[in-house]
Structure 1
Amino acid sequence: MKYLPIDKELFIQNRIRFVQHLKPNSLAVFTSNDIFATGADSTKPFEQHRDIFHLSGVDQEESILVIFPDSSKKSHREILFLKETNENIAIWEGEKLTKEAAFETSGIKTVYWLDQFERVFKELAYEAERIYLNQNEHLRANTEAENRNDRFNNWCRKEFPLHEYERSAPIMHAIRSVKHKIELDLMQEACNITEKGFRRILKFVKPGVMEYNIEAELMHEFLNNRSRGFAYTPIIGSGHSACVLHYIENNQECKDGEVILMDFGAEYANYSSDLTRCVPVNGRFTKRQKEVYNAVLKVKKEATKLLVPGTMLGEYHVEVGKLMESELLNLGLLDKTDIKNQDPSWPAYKKFFMHGTSHFIGLDTHDLGHWNRPIEENMVFTVEPGIYIPEENLGIRLEDDIVIQANGEPFNLMRNIPIEAEEIEDLMN
């Protein structure tokens, strides 16, 4: 890992919060991700399953975490099972976690090697009444491919068919959505690295540069600051490409007179940042481009003020829609007839602003969280309104990452990243 060590107190506290949601005499199991093959002997770089990382800090393949707070053996209330390191592995892959290093990482004292798992787990399972299994229950999850977690769940149900089974996912949605102070610091670092990348490219962008040149400059800055790279596939779209919401080809020339929409963010220690900024290729917005830009910025500022504890996300998005409707009327993109004749299920503003304004962010860019519960202090959301006008080859989206505060306005993790049109022009020139 490129990132600096994380205080194990974070993972200790996360496990305490998880256990508070368990039914009596229950054990819960979390597994690491697979290493995914791409062909021949090649694999993708390993990325840890976010849930086992959240609860243990272990960032290593073939790892299993078992939590059993009511175990009769105090030493079995938290257990890590790890791939045993040896001299051969150390030579070819680098040394894996030792038992001592695993404790320093996680705060878990009981560590067994993976070859002991079945024997120890049977002992635990026979004492427990129910087992909590984990599964990806994100609303946008693609679960077609079987993974290590699925294989374990199938094995467990077959080996212990008479146990009661519960779902860990609702608990993880609840506890991962509310961030610990250490997590907020890690997310701030991811945003700080993103800021460095953005400031780097402000002096780099000019007519004739390719979208992938910008992507390369960002990656250079990220890697130089202990980031693994992009938290998600970046969108670098100039001109008409900015009107394609998930444009990721990044292979076109940035031309004089166009505006580039850049949606990117650095990861740090598995935590995501998510930024969108729009800049003029030649360093100066036209009058029309600036009008649209400032309309989006106004909606973003007003939307941010709505993110306070107790807010329901569904109601929040309705209110943001009203803000956008007003700006589109002012820009002449909508008129009163459009509003009068609109379909309530797809309001008129959706022609120019067709996506949501905010989503949870944390260990995943679209992080876990309950959409039907009031938002709470220390949840983190993006705020990202946009206006897309294909006929004008113009797409504007602006986005920051916001921490919900108990009192006062939300705290902007990207507060130091330039966003005012005039400041961007000044820095580019």
Structure 2
Amino acid sequence: MMKRFGVVALLLVAQVAFGLESVPKGEYHDRRVKLGAMLKGGAAVVFAAHEPAMEYQDYRQDEDFYYLTGSNEPAGALVVIGAGPAAVTRLGTPVPAHAYREILFLPMRNPVLEKYTGEKLDAASPGAAEKLGVDAVMPLSQLPAVLGAFVQEDPRRVRTVWTQVGNDPQGEQARGAMRFAANVLGAEELQVSPQDVTALTTTLRMVKSAAEIELIRKATDASIASQLAGMRAIKPGVRERTVAGVEVAKMMEGGCERVSYPSIVGSGFNSTVLHYSANERVMEKGDVVVIDAAGEYSMYASDLTRTMPVGGKFTARQREIYDIVLGAQNAARAAFVAGKSKMGNVSQRGADAPADLLDKVAYDYINTHGKDLHGEPLGKYFVHGLGHGVGIDVHDPADYSKPFDVGSVFTIEPGIYIPEEKIGVRIEDTFYVDASGKLIDFAEKLPHTADEVEAAMR
């Protein structure tokens, strides 16, 4: 690997230059307009991710920034100002009404560093606004002035600024911008904290458009091919990591730019470890192996898990547990009603749990079918929640107090993990709710039954 010196030594080789498919540019604009309407005259400031320091570290855009812009340009910032009515300050000073406004701020280009990182856009690039599909592009250096002017016009607006509040680099940038706004008002720090913009973007991101559904479908199709390749690679004497490599290669061949999460290939006792990722064991005949692996296509994730017998055929006990897990998934699918069903969680499995919780449906199925070696029900071996949202994040943000409705995308992934028997079984598919309210399995083409799994391994 080529050695580099000074600051240049810390820069990423161009990993952002891959071509991504995208939803229509107008859809990003519609999202920003919807966000603006939620601001009630306030402002949202959303920072992009920076390229990582070292070339072996992957660059991935901030999820909310990408959702609102579709841009993979690093280190910029988006400002959306919602339309607001005229007002009067406490001292009687009139404040005029202001219209909706959106500005994408970009850092200046550095031709020397671009030799390592690839060509970038900045505010001076010809047609930058048109290429990025935004109303206006400005140098990042002007962000403090724009934000400061907005706050200075009516100091009460500091209460209506929404931004990232986490401890990641984007959150640090947001805090720096807010400190500057405080300086504009002659204060060392703002008297109020900025509001968390994810409270707004979560609501927007829960409903997927047809274009988003199509990208998740492509991620899932590549992941189905990956899972099938993994099934065929499973043999006694093969290391788990070898199968993981086969799966990842197949995802990339299918157009994925990266895995959605570190691939899990857990055999024998490792099949009972939920997030096992060492993938270091050599598989043995008689094991079951859980493969939780899926890819990301144009920034949209999929999430799939299958369980296979290492020798190509389930034992009677393994098949029994497998069939119970599949039955639980089918029970949750059958119980789904758009606009009514919620996910639920492990703390809502008691007799008094609401009937509209899919997690409760799956748990009850598992707990009333089969026993462990001591004659006890199997519910206690279903130790995680039934599922989660999927989108730009493999665990896409969602308000699980609300029911799933048209445009929702989420997993259903029941599992039984019995360490004493070295049997872990998980079956996971990513689903979406179509325009008619029907629950559709993106991975319907992937084997589901035990017989189908055994046939796919041959």
- Change in 2 beyond 3 A, CA 1:304/1:404: same
Which residue, 42, 46, 50 being the options, matches 1:30? 46
Deviations 1:196-243 (CA, angstroms, capped at 9, x unpaired): 111222222111111100111112112223322211112110011010
Q: What residue in structure 2 maps to residue 344 of structure 1? A: none
1:63-212 aligned at under 5 Å gives the runs 63-70=76-83, 77-97=101-121, 99=125, 102-104=128-130, 106-127=132-153, 129-130=157-158, 131-135=160-164, 145-157=167-179, 159-160=181-182, 161=190, 165-212=194-241
Distance 2:103 2:427 in 1: 44
Deviations 1:314-360 (A, max 9, x none): 34685544544444443223999x6xxxxxxxxx6542101100111
**Counterpart in the other structure of 2:91:** none
Secondary structure, counterpart of 2:411 in structure 1? strand
Structure 2 counterpart of 1:214:
243
Question: TM-score, normalised on structure 1?
Answer: 0.87
Indicate conservation of the 8 Å contact 2:341/2:357, yes or no.
no
SS in 2 for 1:330: coil
| Equivalent residue number for residue 343 of structure 2 | 313
Q: Deviations over 1:356-378 (max 9, x none)?
A: 00111111111111122232211
Q: Which moved more, 1:316-325 or 1:231-240?
A: 316-325
Q: 1:252 to 1:316 in 2, by over 3 A?
A: farther
**Cα distance in 2 between the residues matched to 1:319 and 1:52:** 32
Q: From the superposition, tell whether residues 319 and 60 of structure 1 become closer, same or farther in structure 2 (CA, over 3 Å).
A: closer
Structure label with greater radius of gyration? 2
**Bigger Cα displacement from structure 2, 176-185 vs 406-415:** 406-415
Separation (CA, whole Å) in 2 of partners of 1:5 and 1:323: 36
What amino acid is the match of 1:13? D
* Equivalent residues of 2:340, 2:356 under 8 A apart: no
Q: Which segment drifts farther, 375-384 or 314-323?
A: 314-323
Q: Give how far 1:134 is off.
A: 2.4
Structure-2 separation of matches of 1:208 and 1:235: 18
Q: Residue type matched to 1:152 in 2? A: A
Q: Say which is worse superposed, 372-381 or 295-304, in terms of deviation.
A: 372-381
* Aligned counterpart for 1:10 among listed residues 24, 27, 37: 27
Q: 1:107 to 1:312 in 2, by over 3 A?
A: same
The match for 1:331 is 370
Deviation, structure 1 residue 12: 1.4
User: Are the aligned partners of 2:77 and 2:104 in contact in 1 as well (CA < 8 Å)?
Assistant: yes
CA RMSD of aligned residues (A): 2.7
| Separation in 2, partners of 1:20, 1:310 | 27
Amino acid at match of 1:355: H
Contact 2:407 2:433 in 1 (8 A): yes
Contact residue 40 and residue 83 of structure 2 kept, 8 A: no
Asked if structure 2 preserves the Cα contact closer than 8 Å seen for 1:226 and 1:268, the reply is: yes
Residues 227-276 of structure 1, C-alpha deviation per residue, up to 9 Å, x if partnerless? 22211112110011010111111110111111110111101122111101
Which structure is higher in RCO with an 8 Å CA cutoff and minimum separation 6? 1
**C-alpha distance in structure 2 between counterparts of 1:358 and 1:376, whole Å:** 15
Between the aligned residues of both structures, percent identity stands at 28
Inter-partner Cα distance in structure 2 for 1:150 and 1:377: 36
State the SS of the aligned residue for 2:266.
Answer: strand
Instruction: Name the TM-score, length of structure 2 as normaliser.
Output: 0.81
In the alignment, the residues of structure 2 paired with residue 326 and residue 196 of structure 1 have an alpha-carbon distance, to the nearest angstrom, of 30
**Aligned partner letter, 2:339:** P
Instruction: Give 5+ residue unaligned stretches, structure 2.
Output: 1-16, 85-95, 183-189, 345-353
The answer on whether the counterparts of 2:78 and 2:102 sit within 8 Å (CA) in structure 1 is yes
Structure 1 unaligned residues grouped into runs of 5+:
137-142, 339-347
Corresponding position of 2:66: 53
Contact 1:133–1:167 under 8 Å retained in 2: yes
Question: For residue 22 of structure 1, what is the amino acid of its counterpart?
Answer: L
Using the alignment, how far apart are the partners of 2:249 and 2:416 within structure 1?
A: 30
Mark the CA change 1:326 to 1:274 in structure 2 (over 3 Å): closer, same or farther.
closer
Letter in 1 for 2:27: L
Q: 1:354 to 1:289 in 2, by over 3 A?
A: same
Amino acid of the residue matched to residue 124 of structure 1?
F
CA distance in 2, matches of 1:74, 1:97: 29
Paired residue secondary structure (1:388):
strand
Q: Is the 8 A contact 1:84 1:96 kept in 2?
A: no
| Residue pair 1:19, 1:69 contacting (<8 A) in 2 also | yes
